[in-house]
Amino acid sequence: MKQIIYSILQYRHSLLRDETFNIGIAFYLPEIDNKVIFFSSPKVSILQNIYADIDFETLTNYLKYIQFNIDNHKIEQQSAIPFDLNFKLYLKKFVLLEDSTVLQFTDPVIISNVDNSEPLEIVKNYIKILLSFKDNDEFTQLKNILYC
């Protein structure tokens, strides 16, 4: 049974409020050469309408920083560590240090691909649900990333 693991990047404007926005998602595909891919929501700019004091330039720079780190640090699977824990450690060590800032990755979630669906279709559906992507050019990009 194949697995896909994901973790959602959430934005929390104030640590005093329990209000978060899903602004990105990272997928780990251990069966496809330990590939990690990251997508940020195309609707992240809506946060400027919600929070007048948001430093949007810094936020977009962080999203670029996360993408850069994922592109430049390959995940190494260690046989004694479950995939989801290994992914969590990878995100903390190489992608975005965990602290009490406004950006946090959620604990990884495992998707069991019991019917052996194409990973592209599974990832597409989760992106639509969790980030409100529309079915257009982003998925051509996704296909190129998964199968290059």
**129 or 11, greater pLDDT:** 11
Q: β-strands 109-113, 2-11: how paired?
A: antiparallel
pLDDT above 90: residue 68: yes
- What is the per-residue pLDDT for 134? 46
Work out the percent of the chain whose per-residue pLDDT is above 70. 84
**Both structure tokens of 60:** 């977009």
Buried b (16+ CB within 10 A) or exposed e, 117-141: eebeebbbebbeebbebeeeebbee
Work out the percent of the chain whose per-residue pLDDT is above 90. 24
Q: β-strands 109-113, 35-40: how paired?
A: unpaired
CB-CB contact of 114 with 16 (8 Å): no
